[in-house]
Amino acid sequence: MTRESWHTRLGFILAAVGSAVGLGNIWRFPWMTAENGGSAFLVMYLAIVLLVGVPGLLAAFVIGRRARLNPVGALYRLSSGSRSWRGVGLFAVLTAVVLLSFYSVVGGWILRYFVASFTGAYFGSPGAYFGSIDYGVPAVGFHVLFLALTALIVVGGVRGGIEKATKVMMPAIVALLVALAAWATTRPGAAAGLSFYLDFDAAYLRANFLDVLRAAAGQALFTLSLGGGTMITYASYLDDDRNLAADGSIIALLNTGVGVLAGFVVFPLLFTTAGGLTGPAKGGGPGALFVSIAGAFAQVPFGRALAVLFFGVIAFAALSSSISMLEIPVAYLIDEHDVDRRVATGTLGGLVLVTGSANALNPGLFGFVAGTLVNMMLTAGLVGSLVFVGWVLGKDAVAEMSTGAGPGVRSLGPAWLWSVRTILPLFLLGTLAVNLLALAGVSLPG
Ligand code: PHE
């Protein structure tokens, strides 16, 4: 059986952007920013996307395209059959399953809000409404619905399913967010939100440096779909004519743009309609997006129609990310164990149905998985990829990144390899250590 590949030159970029742009930008980014000092977090996050995210994306692409396999097979073959590297690949597969187990719950919230927008069910009291649907049996139901939609697309395969689904949603998301941002930022009282988001707060950063660092690093990897094997898998369907460094930069730029834009919608609204981060509607936490935006729709003309459109588009964005999570273990079962795509999708869907339901029933578990656990797993996974590229592939990695690239990019090869070998893994290990200390309950110095 010949392996699938992307249908058009743009197919890969669109699918990778589709994976990157999702609830991470629109839901997790405002939540993390709100919890970590606003502007202080924003600055740290942007720096890490640029300095760690872009070279990290390139490393994942190099592994994927060189091996043309799922992460497990890729690390195993490229290391000429090392069992330990195979284990690192398996860790990425496991990470994807953990990711989907909470992502699908949030995807379920989005579907629920989509449905509720038709009647305006949450218009009266957005904060209380979110509190009434976030966890419990109905949350399980919507999680299962979201998971079923994800599985349906993945069964369709790379071209028919993933590529087609992502082509329509990107322009729609950007257009909607721009319109909402224009409205939100000009509301009376929006200035407080904008100042929280944009006025660089050096004092906060100094006092909470390590906490901001670990949250920003985790969020940077999460939003770029980095460290969980997605970008390795997507690049494995790629041909030699693509310039990997250029593609990586475009993907990071588009993705970060959408996240920053979402901030311009959520923060003004949090401060105008939800009473700030700690107000009666509790704008911070995982509900930040829902409480702020949903509250806003109650006040604008054509609020219901707009809300239906908004949550519909976000559901698309979430699906184009969740399919990229499910595709990793599915590709692994297909490549390595010769399982039929339908059987693989069904089996993994069944597994996530159970693990996701646990998250949907238990807020404490959800918060831990969606926050610290995912941060740590993605970080560890990316360290694995970087060490592999830097020390196992070495010069071959530079050759791979040069394939399809112009002289400008090629001249950066050695510097990139050096950073992939040394400074980037060390930095990430540092953030991992900070996470572990925080988990162990050690209070972090500033
Ligand atoms: N980047 C996606 C988002 O922002 C989430 C994701 C993480 C997808 C890791 C795949 C792998 O929503």
223 lines ligand 1 (CB under 6 A): yes
Number of the ligand 1 atom closest to the C-alpha atom of 27: 12
Number of the ligand 1 atom closest to the C-alpha atom of 325: 10
Distance 208 CA to ligand 1 centre (A): 26
Distance 93 CA to ligand 1 centre (A): 14
Ligand 1 probe mutation, 25, 223, 233, most atoms within 8 A of CB = 223
**Residue minimizing CA distance to atom 9 of ligand 1:** 225
**DSSP labels for 70-92?**
-HHHHHHHHTTS-HHHHHHHHHH
110 lines ligand 1 (CB under 6 A): no
Rounded CA-CA distance 421/210 in Å is: 23
- Residue 216 in 3-state DSSP? helix
Which among 373, 363, 369 is positioned nearest to 133, based on CA atoms?
363
Ligand 1 probe mutation, 222, 224, 230, most atoms within 8 A of CB = 222
- Please provide the average confidence, as pLDDT, over all residues in the chain: 90
What's at 124, amino acid-wise? G
320 lines ligand 1 (CB under 6 A): no
Which among 341, 242, 169 is positioned nearest to 8, based on CA atoms?
242
Q: pLDDT per residue over 138-177, tens digit each?
A: 999 999 999 999 999 888 876 665 566 667 777 778 888 8
For the full predicted model, state whether its pTM sits above 0.85.
yes
Rounded CA-CA distance 346/336 in Å is: 17
Is there a contact between 389 and 420 (Cβ–Cβ < 8 Å)?
yes
Q: pLDDT value at position 257?
A: 94
Q: pLDDT value at position 364?
A: 93
99 lines ligand 1 (CB under 6 A): yes
CA angle, corner 424, sides to 431 and 263, nearest 5? 60
Distance 188 CA to ligand 1 centre (A): 34
**Residue minimizing CA distance to atom 11 of ligand 1:** 225
Q: pLDDT per residue over 361-375, tens digit each?
A: 999 999 999 988 999
**Residue minimizing CA distance to atom 10 of ligand 1:** 225
Q: pLDDT value at position 72?
A: 97
Domains and CATH numbers, the chain: 9-439 (1.10.4160)
Which residues does 274 contact at the CB level (< 8 Å), separation at least 6? 126, 127, 281, 282, 283, 291, 292, 295
Distance 99 CA to ligand 1 centre (A): 8
Q: pLDDT per residue over 376-421, tens digit each?
A: 999 999 999 999 999 999 999 999 999 999 999 999 999 999 999 9
Is there a contact between 278 and 300 (Cβ–Cβ < 8 Å)?
no
pLDDT tier for residue 280 given thresholds of 50, 70 and 90: very low
**Residue minimizing CA distance to atom 6 of ligand 1:** 225
251 lines ligand 1 (CB under 6 A): no
